[in-house]
Amino acid sequence: MALAAVHAMAHGEHVDDDILLFLDRAIAAVEPVVESVSVADHVRSTPCKGFDLGALVAHLVGGLRGFADVGEGKPLRFDADPDLKTERAGVEYRKASDRLVAAFREPGMLERSFAMPWGDTTGAQLIGFELIEVVVHGWDISRSLGRTAPFDDDLVEAALFGARLWVDDSTRTPQLFGPEVPVSAGAPALDRLVGFLGRQPDWGL
């Protein structure tokens, strides 16, 4: 089911609510991890180059806020990261996630095309991108805290399927994804996903 929905999304075909259900599952899995990050944890290093843990959590929430804005008919903002000195990460994460999912649950939103800075993008593609973001940054945060990322394999496989379709040399920039790290085809799905997106699967072990 996961792969069928992502395949349809990637090719601009009609999609149902499956992709939103996958995003909902990823959001729910990461929420307690985000809530567990203390102020003292903010200085921890992460597998995401250029981000300490505080900056990475803020970036994750900012991305959810930015795409929620788009779904609500506003321009995409690149300055939507919360100030974690005055805003609670867990609260802002849930508020942004709820806004995003509610906006794109409206009829026709997954099929609708949005004018984005990088070109026209369907609502389903935006949700698919957030699925990748939540899963990968959820892994980043979990690994920074010395924990195991809380994802089921089918959810990870869905994110990996979308990533392989959309991530190419044009998106492997310092602001997006690093060079692919070779990972065995028989490795766990999460190792293959993070390796494909430029992380070392054994980071922090």
Could you tell me the CATH number of the domain that includes residue 123? 1.20.120.450
| Domain assignment of residue 204, yes or no | no
Q: Is the pLDDT of residue 53 over 50?
A: yes
| Domain assignment of residue 177, yes or no | no
| Domain assignment of residue 100, yes or no | yes
pLDDT the model gives residue 10: 47
- The tens digit of pLDDT for each residue in 127-184 reads 999 999 999 999 999 999 999 999 999 999 999 988 988 777 777 776 667 889 999 9
| Domain assignment of residue 182, yes or no | no
| Domain assignment of residue 181, yes or no | no
Rounded mean pLDDT, 67-83: 95
In the chain the first and final C-alpha atoms are separated, in Å, by: 33
Report whether 179 contacts 198 (CB < 8 A).
yes
Banded pLDDT at 14 (limits 50, 70, 90): very low
| Domain assignment of residue 124, yes or no | yes
- The tens digit of pLDDT for each residue in 84-93 reads 999 999 999 9
Distance separating alpha carbons of residues 146 and 174, to the nearest angstrom: 25
Q: Is the pLDDT of residue 204 over 90?
A: no
How does DSSP assign 101-117, residue by residue?
Answer: HHHHHSTTTTT-EEEET
Q: Which structural domain range is residue 74 located in?
A: 2-169
Report whether 53 contacts 84 (CB < 8 A).
no
Count of domains in the chain? 1
Distance separating alpha carbons of residues 98 and 65, to the nearest angstrom: 10
